[in-house]
Amino acid sequence: MFKRNLAKFNHAMGFQRSCCWQKVRPDSDLSTKERAPNETVSEDANYSSWMVEHPSALTSFDQMMKDAKGKKIVVFLDYDGTLSPIVNNPDRAFMSDEMRAAVKEVAKYFPTAIISGRSRDKVKGFVQLNNIYYAGSHGMDIMAPPRPVRSSDGNYLTVSLDRKGNDVVFQPAQKFLPAIQKISKELEEAIMKISGARVENNRFCVSVHFRQVREEDYGTLEEKVKSILKHYPDFRLDWGKKVMEIRPSIEWDKGNALEYLLDTLGLGNCTDVLPVYIGDDRTDEDAFKVIQKRGQGYPIVVTSIPKDTKASYSLYDPLEVLTFLSRLARWRKSSSSSRSLSQVWDCE
């Protein structure tokens, strides 16, 4: 039991094991200059080998855009670790002004959405842009365009207009809100004596951050979280980067959110749509799988180490994400086939 729990924590803390490696290594918490020279060379070689299967989206950019000519690109972005760096204090995961400008520019030319594990209001507060769509709580809280959604036979339910009567709010886990509030309060009381642990209520899911928790307290923290969760059979425990996440046990994830947004944009059944999804977390793999199943699109993982992924391309860090988004906007702006945003929303 101890070994299994330790393995879960190692995974959540960002420790990865590759088929090409002889040892486990951390998720780049140490700078290169803090590592032994031979270790740095070995890690660089492993990363280069991994990139043969997951080439850089920057070096592949020209070919990607050549293949995208005449098709409709829709952009989906994760937030933490993608648009902003991973930081010790999740309340200070601010994106740079340069990144905000790049996202704003991209949204001028392509429908753009951010799908985050954060609450929708919180991630919107970080991004501060009005020309994009927001999906919080891993897609369980979506602000989408005011377009017809599927009938009840298509499983799309629980929608309402926002306060201004404009965009549609879709919340498939709405009935779980009272329980989520109780879980959040119980967790805060249970872990308050564990130094470095913190609870974040993301409205339709609850995150327990342990990036600053001492290793000797890992087991205690996990036990406290699980002792509360066992009283809520309709919820499950997931693991992210140095975070435990309590979510309703419903069939809905970032992949479903991507499909929902494409449908409400009127692009769900288009055969010439290329979704571009950029994300760094395990939860983004659900969106990568959807794109892979569609047979066209660009799933791009953000990572500085080799990892198992369904992504076809990679970017090293948020700085490379910034470069990619800037190039994407410039490409569309200078493209002779450039069309206005209103022209790329509907199937022809």
Question: What b/e string do you get for 221-256 counting C-beta neighbours within 10 Å, with b at 16 or more?
Answer: bbebbeebbeebeebeebebbbbbbbbbebebbbbb
Which residues, at least 6 apart from 290, have a Cβ–Cβ distance to it below 8 Å?
255, 256, 258, 259, 275
* Residue from 247, 276, 249, 250 nearest 261 by CA: 276
Q: What is the CA radius of gyration of the chain?
A: 20
Distances 287 to 84, 117, 280, 281, 324 between C-alpha atoms, Å: 19, 13, 11, 11, 19
For residues 97 and 90, what is the distance between their CA atoms, to the nearest angstrom?
Answer: 18
User: Tokens 């571009």 correspond to what residue?
Assistant: 276
* Contact between 230 and 237 (Cβ < 8 Å): no
* Contact between 142 and 111 (Cβ < 8 Å): no
Tell me which DSSP letter residue 212 carries: T
**Which residue numbers are catalytic?**
78
* Residue from 197, 311, 175, 180 nearest 254 by CA: 311
Number of H helices, E strands in the chain: 10, 13
For residues 267 and 272, what is the distance between their CA atoms, to the nearest angstrom?
Answer: 9
Helical (H) or strand (E) element with 333? helix 318-334
Strand partners, 236: 247
Ramachandran sector of residue 50 (left: φ over 0; alpha: ψ -120 to 50; beta: rest): alpha
Which residues, at least 6 apart from 285, have a Cβ–Cβ distance to it below 8 Å?
309, 310, 311
